[in-house]
Amino acid sequence: MPVFLLGAGFNYDAKQAAGKIIGHSAYGAYEMKCRYPLVTDLLGPCFGKDNLREGETIEELFAAAIQERNYKPLEALSDALMHADSYIARQLSSADANPDNCYARFFERIRGCHFLTFNYDSLPEILLFQRGDWYPHDGYGVAVEVKISSRISNEYRSKKSKSLVLHLHGSFCIYPNSFDLVTRPGDITQWIVEKSEPSYIFDPHSITHRFSPYERMPPEPTGYEYVAHRVIAPVPDKAEGLQKVFIQAMHTRAREILRSTNEIIAIGYRFNPLDHVSYEPLLSGLSHSKRARVVLVCPDAELVRDQLSVTYSHIEWIAVPTTFKRWVDAGFPEAGS
């Protein structure tokens, strides 16, 4: 089976597929403005600017903010994605709201496949969870500590994910805990001791209700990673972020999965040169003995193909220059059986 690699373009059609999202207030019903943003959409929400200066990039703005320990832009990004996860994903998974949308047809077609994603949001997990194909305690590819409503805890702990979703740049819903509180014999003092292996905590923040009966775990005294620190920010140099323990675990697991396939279908991911340090080990690790195949589904797929086919000549690059929705509507061309 192919492995799917998801970029921001995978989410681009979600708002249209979900249709109108209606909110309610004391003044009555209203249509909510809610969508999954692309990087180019972040200038206003994250930095309060209308235009970039000549030669300036959004990635450089994020890098400068982090250098100054200003995490408000990342908080704004987290809030926007959590908002979209709360409302757009709910609408897409609702039987009463366009049940034949392109995302429902996609996840029905590829049941049992695994996903690698450079996105921070939880759209794939939410939709897979609603189908009974993914669960947070094992669906991230590593064991994750979760809190489940005690009434049905045992029922859900025995469930197994059919698909994995590996967040190669981190997820706002997962953080590591590398320490334990230990009381030694004859000593009432609690000591902070580093774990031999970190554990990972499921913290769905404001979207807990999308994963019911899973709940948000209360922060532990030995460590809580602030939401803005859980991901590799969209900065020019991602090498430092790749050292985060959860992200390292994701890449290790991703390389294991790719050893069992010779086909990647990349949806809405343009292999930005700024991400080269992230995707190079994945592409280089694809089988050289059996010709690997990468299908590119994005509007500028032909340009991406031409750029990458020189460096990665052991891979057969297939360009499908279209959006995710149009690809699904066309019957998944080049996706195989």
Q: What single letter denotes the amino acid at residue 257?
A: I
3-class DSSP assignment, residue 157? helix
Q: Which residues pair with 215 in a beta bridge?
A: 147
pLDDT at residue 205, as a whole number: 79
Kindly indicate the confidence band of residue 207, based on its pLDDT and cuts at 50, 70 and 90: confident
Kindly indicate the confidence band of residue 204, based on its pLDDT and cuts at 50, 70 and 90: confident
Closest CA to 171 of 126, 219, 218, 110: 126
Query: Which H or E run includes 86?
Result: helix 72-92
Higher-confidence residue: 108 or 217? 108
Residue 148 has pLDDT above 60, yes or no: yes
The Cα 188–Cα 190 span in angstroms is 6
Q: What single letter denotes the amino acid at residue 92?
A: L
Parse the chain into domains and list their residue ranges.
Answer: 3-329
Q: Mind listing the pLDDT tens digit for each residue in 246-301?
A: 999 999 999 999 988 889 999 999 999 999 999 999 998 776 557 789 999 999 99
- The answer to whether the CB of 5 falls within 8 A of the CB of 267 is yes
- The answer to whether the CB of 220 falls within 8 A of the CB of 177 is yes
Query: Which H or E run includes 193?
Result: strand 190-202
Higher-confidence residue: 195 or 14? 14
292 — phi, psi (to 5°)?
-80, 160
pLDDT at residue 174, as a whole number: 94
pLDDT at residue 226, as a whole number: 86
Kindly indicate the confidence band of residue 158, based on its pLDDT and cuts at 50, 70 and 90: confident
Scan for tokens 């019903």, then name that residue: 29
pLDDT at residue 289, as a whole number: 52
Prior bond of 281 cis (ω within 30°) = no
pLDDT at residue 96, as a whole number: 61
Q: Which residues of 239-266 are buried (b: 16+ CB within 10 A; e: fewer)?
A: eebbebebbebbbebbeebbeebbbbbb
- Around 71, how many Cα atoms within 13 Å sit in the side-chain half-sphere? 11
Q: Average pLDDT in the 175-199 region?
A: 75
The Cα 98–Cα 12 span in angstroms is 17
pLDDT at residue 140, as a whole number: 97
pLDDT at residue 152, as a whole number: 67
pLDDT at residue 197, as a whole number: 83
